[in-house]
Structure 1
Amino acid sequence: MLVYAVFGDPVEHSLSPAMQNAAFSALGLSARYLAFRVRRERLRDAILGAEAMHFGGLNLTIPHKEAALSIVEPDENAAAMGAVNAVAFVDGSIRGYNTDGLGAVRALEGAGVRVDGRRVLIIGAGGAGKAIARQLALSGAQVAIANRDRRRAIELAAAVGGRGYGLSDLSKLVPEAEVVVNATSVGMRGGDPRLFDGRLLREGQTVFDIVYNRKTELLKDAARAGAVAIDGVPMLVWQGALSIEIWTGRKAPTDVMEEAVREELRNR
């Protein structure tokens, strides 16, 4: 039996084991996916140990995505994004990939949202924001990025051919956007402040929140405004599905994976 794992700190909240084990079962693979808490300073030891023990592959979550770049051989996409979230062990090499950006685009497309040529506002310029911004730009979107640290937004926008702003500009940017993406963790906890006044949203927009553990206030505001509201579960599913395809060469059963995630959320 092959072992796969997600490394993070914390990692107890991860839904990846339920999702990936459901996929392995549906594919008839003799494999098991586990979650391991790995401290930042022991990441190299953990990745090398997994390779030595012939793990099938790894996913990486906070706080390891950027640190992994110096440990693995990143592909062009992961190197450009400055983060790794999937690791494969191939012929004695340890290779790094980033499936977050493409996972986000697949999630939007799966909801019937066209990306090419659309005005997309991404809130957040951290790891997730970088991945999503780059992939949306590659997919033909007109990207605007707003971030608490305006300088980071401007730097990321320059790298992907978009425009960078501070959060103070949201009152102007939100009504202009056709697609609004929350690429921050705001909304993960009840009581989190709103990113902006929900009355800025309108019918005909798409609002995509990468938070997946609860229905956020942003998504509630989107529904009230008549906008299309997409939670973070499809992105989680697609980044996991793309990881499976990297590790096994098999097409992952995304419908089975999404049901496993939503069932786990209902039981929590």
Structure 2
Amino acid sequence: MAITGKTTVTGIIGWPVSHSLSPVLHNAAFQALGLDWIYVPFPVAPERLAEGIAGLKSVGVAGFSVTIPHKVAIIPLLDQVTPEAELIGAVNTVVAREGKLTGYNTDGIGLIAAVRDKLSFDPAGKNILVLGAGGAARSAVVSLALAGAAGVTIANRSQDSAAALAQLVAARLPQTRFVTRGLDCLSDAGLMAGFDLVVNTTSVGMAGDSFPGLALSSLKPGGCLYDMVYAPPVTPLLAQARALGIPCANGFAMLVAQGEAAFRIWTGVTPPGGCMEGALAAVL
């Protein structure tokens, strides 16, 4: 596709950003739809974030993704953020319209879409265990609660961090019961028997590590596992779930679904089914 002065520009900001797979997703969808759009990486150092945002706005970029380390720092530089992004406390998608920048967070959208599509799991009324208490956990906790989860237990190495996260969201999402635990709870078969879904939001598994003593076999009948890690495609946690016959999926589907949501925000169009997924699979 030829790039001209009429080509609409989108992209991703981060530091570093050269490793991002987002250009693969979005450019495949633009091409499939015949849209005169392009998606490019913009390396923006943390100390130059304000300059970078002002520059993107001034040259008329239609929208952009936001990755580490800018997801939180960018919020004061935007004209507005959606209620969900404000509650999560992080932005991963920005759209420019009528001279204003609006921040969204599609990570939670991606998670809910992934568990529904790959695991046939509806969070409404369910009890869910979230492993971790960082930024990805916050997105997961908020999105699961907004999707109607009855209870969300946050298990983390630092229980203080888990408690801080629970306290932060509990007042805003009173319909969901929030509980915090240390990682030692994972070996408690009785406790694990109360969960319908386990979501790993940590980096555990990327280097072949796992959660020692995890009583995964004690999950509720029909319980399942979602691991946000997508490289390697089968982590020790997923291998354990497969060996036990527990429905499970990796972070591949979430990565695609959050990208599809961002694409819709910018263009108003849904990418062709399987387009982004196929492009990403070809790379991975």
TM-score bracket for this pair, using the shorter chain length: over 0.9
Larger Rg: 2
Residue 162 of structure 1 aligns to a residue in which SS? strand
Letter in 1 for 2:94: V
C-alpha separation in 1, matches of 2:127 and 2:25: 32
- Mark the CA change 1:71 to 1:256 in structure 2 (over 3 Å): closer, same or farther: same
1:38 aligned to 11, 19, 44, which one? 44
Which residues of structure 2 form unaligned runs of 5+?
1-6, 171-176
Q: Deviations 1:206-232 (Å, cap 9, x if unpaired)?
A: 110111121211111110111111110
2:165 matches 1:156: yes
Q: Provide Cα deviations, 1:113-159, integer angstroms capped at 9, x if missing partner.
A: 12111111011111111111111011111211111221221232232
Deviations 1:158-199 (A, max 9, x none): 324411112122222444321110011222234xx3123355
State how far apart, in whole Å, the 2-side matches of 1:230 and 1:32 are: 30
Distance 1:233 1:45 in 2: 33
TM-score normalised to the size of structure 1?
A: 0.93
Per-residue CA deviation, residues 29-72 of structure 1 (Å, 9 max, x unaligned), is 11111123221111221121111111121111111101111111
| Residue-by-residue CA offset, 1:70-127 (whole Å, 9 max, x unaligned) | 1112111111111000011111111111111111001111121121111110111111
In 2: Cα distance, 1:103 partner to 1:166 partner: 27
Q: Which residue of 1 aligns with 2:27?
A: 21
Q: Provide TM-score, normalisation by structure 2.
A: 0.88
SS of match in other structure, 1:13: coil
Q: What is the rounded CA distance, in whole Å, between the counterparts of 2:212 and 2:109 in structure 1? A: 26
2:201 is aligned, of 180, 183, 208, to 183
Letter in structure 2 aligned against 1:204: G
**Which residue in the other structure is 2:240 paired with?**
221
Which piece of structure 1 moves more, 173-182 or 87-96? 173-182
Asked whether the equivalents of residues 81 and 134 of structure 1 are also in contact (C-alpha less than 8 Å), the reply is yes
Q: Which residue of 2 aligns with 1:194?
A: 210
Map of 1:76 onto structure 2: 83
Give 2:156's aligned residue.
147
Distance 1:33 1:166, change over 3 A: same
- 1:91-170 mapped onto 2 (5 Å cutoff): 91-111=98-118, 112-141=120-149, 142-158=151-167, 159-160=169-170, 161-170=177-186
Q: Is it true that 1:208 corresponds to 2:226 in the alignment? A: yes
CA displacement at 1:25 relative to structure 2: 1.3
Corresponding residue for 1:90?
97
Per-residue deviation, 1:252: 2.5
1:256 CA displacement: 0.8
Tell me the distance in 1 between the aligned counterparts of 2:247 and 2:156.
Answer: 23
* Displacement after TM superposition at 1:254 (Å): 4.5
> Which residue of structure 2 lines up, in the alignment, with residue 250 of structure 1?
269
The count of residues paired between Structure 1 and Structure 2 equals 263
Unaligned stretches of 5+ in structure 1? none
